[in-house]
């Protein structure tokens, strides 16, 4: 397992220009590199460059059952299942994870798709859009404090590091109705990032 220092952590965020307050947040994040999940490389030839990051979209996994595992290995295997779901040629057949980051129940932040590449997480709205998935079904369960604290830290770091960044939830951006990121996480997002027009929440 890589033991990330601040320099390596900044490698997770191409083009990031964080002020000292942002770097202090970054130091607090427990980042797990994609290489800890899988040795399988993404199909880079099928991915588009991200270019400038202009928005972040927050999702939940939204599987039919609540996700309750805290264990690092169980979480890693869960993410391998999601990778298979996203890349299976008989299924979605995407080049890699659809999302860029996952936030687990213990507050770990897992790198999924390299942020240098466009994701596959909001149909027709993936350009310049970083996708963060929060593990759980928040129509059925409440996110624990550790999880939303880490989500807030990740979002606040990125707000400090990129200019003119907008934050959305999936249901705010989707062309088709969706409950994603689930009603409990939507409420938390509204309470935490709502009303902050300067930060672009819409």
Which chain residues interact with Zn ion by CB under 5 A?
59, 170, 180
Shortest Cβ distance from residue 196 to Zn ion (Å)?
Answer: 21
Shortest Cβ distance from residue 115 to Zn ion (Å)?
Answer: 18
Backbone angles phi, psi at 125, to 5 degrees: -135, 40
Token digits of residue 45: 């030839």
Nearer to Zn ion, 59 or 108 (CB): 59
Residues 42, 44: Cα–Cα separation, whole Å: 5
Nearer to Zn ion, 86 or 170 (CB): 170
Shortest Cβ distance from residue 99 to Zn ion (Å)?
Answer: 9
Nearer to Zn ion, 75 or 169 (CB): 169
Shortest Cβ distance from residue 133 to Zn ion (Å)?
Answer: 7
Residue owning tokens 């009603």 = 183
Residues 4, 160: Cα–Cα separation, whole Å: 20
Name the DSSP letter for residue 13: S
Give me the numbers of helices (H) and strands (E) for the chain, helices first please.
6, 6
Residues 94, 58: Cα–Cα separation, whole Å: 19
Residues across the chain: 202
């Amino acid at each position: 397992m890589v033991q990330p220092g601040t320099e390596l952590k900044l490698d997770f965020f191409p083009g990031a220009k964080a002020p000292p307050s942002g770097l202090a947040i970054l130091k607090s994040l427990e980042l797990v590199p994609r290489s800890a999940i899988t040795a399988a490389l993404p199909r880079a030839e099928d991915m588009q460059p991200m270019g400038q990051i202009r928005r972040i979209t927050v999702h939940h996994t939204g599987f039919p059952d609540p996700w309750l595992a805290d264990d690092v290995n169980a979480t890693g295997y869960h993410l391998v299942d999601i990778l298979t779901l996203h890349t299976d040629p008989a299924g979605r057949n995407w080049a890699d994870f659809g999302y860029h980051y996952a936030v687990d129940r213990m507050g770990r932040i897992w790198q999924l798709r390299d942020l240098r590449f466009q994701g596959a997480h909001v149909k027709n709205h993936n350009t310049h859009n970083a996708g963060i998935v929060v593990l759980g079904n928040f129509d059925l369960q409440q996110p624990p404090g550790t999880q939303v604290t880490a989500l807030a830290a990740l979002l606040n770091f990125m707000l400090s590091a990129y200019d003119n960044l907008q934050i959305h939830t999936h249901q705010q951006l989707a062309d088709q109705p969706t409950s994603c990121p689930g009603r409990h996480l939507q409420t938390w997002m509204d309470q935490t990032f709502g009303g902050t027009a300067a930060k672009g929440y819409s």
